[in-house]
Amino acid sequence: MFLFPPIKNGVDFSATLSYIRGNGFRSDNERRETPMKGKKGWILLIVALFLICACAHTKPTGREAPSTAKQKQQEEKDKKPLSAEDELKQGDQYLARGETAGAVVHYQNALKKDPSLSRAHLQMAKAYGKQRAMDQYEKELQEAIKVDPQLAEARYLLASWYFTSGRTKEALAETEILLKAQPENEQYRLFRVMIFDATKEYKKAIDDLEFLAKAYPQKAQYLLSLGGMYRKIGNTKKSRQYLQQVKVVAPNSYEAKMAEEMLKEGKEKKK
């Protein structure tokens, strides 16, 4: 027995095609009435086989594939406008990579959405600072303080910029505000010492240095600075006392070597 009817005069797939159409196998007489001839038969066969293969390889799914769904979610997220905080984060990422122009754009967008975001002004100032655009740097620091007077980092950077650019009066004014809020802050005290030293207000510098030496007795640099500052006002006795203390607190340090040299210089001047 044959599954398909006997083939006559070469290949004849008419019975197979008839079965695919759902009619079952036809008799020989039926096949003779509607014979498949030439190219037409082959075309119909190819179409039928293509449909079978397509159906076999298509898997019915009740939902989208995970990768497609995730991709659509990302696309939808990308379409949503970023919040002010998101813009700020994007700006920080650009700034961390050194892409300051892109960072500035995101910080500006953040401020358009939330003008009270003082940190956007601060971060934009940092971006301008890296570009050496110091006018914009100063302006953004001032804006940051205007929005939030308690933003200490912005005020300290502004004070430092004033000092660097020779505006000691403005630098001191900003530093006094910082110290009023945090009177024991080591960094702010030391910065004020630098300002007083630049303006030759040595006694005021000594007051801050003595505060620091008392607060941080193991830091030889403050004792060394006191030795040098007392020398500037002509008090050699106090100068020697502090320089000797440096050698006790940190005997093998760079500060101790400097103190020893300063003591020798003092002896030579007396001669």
Is 60 exceeded by the pLDDT of residue 39? no
Find out whether 141 and 122 touch, Cβ atoms under 8 Å: yes
- State yes or no: pLDDT of 214 exceeds 80: yes
CATH of 212-271, one of 2.30.170, 2.70.98, 1.25.40, 1.10.10: 1.25.40
DSSP string, 69-86: HHHHHHHHHHHSPPPHHH
Q: 208 with 193: CB under 8 angstroms?
A: yes
**pLDDT score recorded for residue 172:** 98
Spatial contact of 266 and 239, defined as CB atoms under 8 Å apart: yes
Least confident of 39-43, 134-138, 238-242: 39-43
Which of the pair, 82 or 64, is modelled with greater confidence?
82
Question: What is the CATH topology of the domain spanning 84-148?
Answer: 1.25.40
pLDDT of residue 43: 62
The residue ranges of DSSP E strands in 21-176, in sequence order, are: none
Q: How many CB atoms lie within 10 A of CB 128?
A: 22
pLDDT for res 225: 97
Do 145 and 119 touch, CB atoms closer than 8 A? no
Map out the domains of the chain as residue ranges: 1-51, 84-148, 212-271
pLDDT bin (cut points 50, 70, 90) of residue 147 is: very high
CB atoms within 10 A of CB 179: 16
- Assess whether the region 84-148 and the region 212-271 belong to the same CATH fold: yes
Residue 270 has pLDDT above 70, yes or no: no
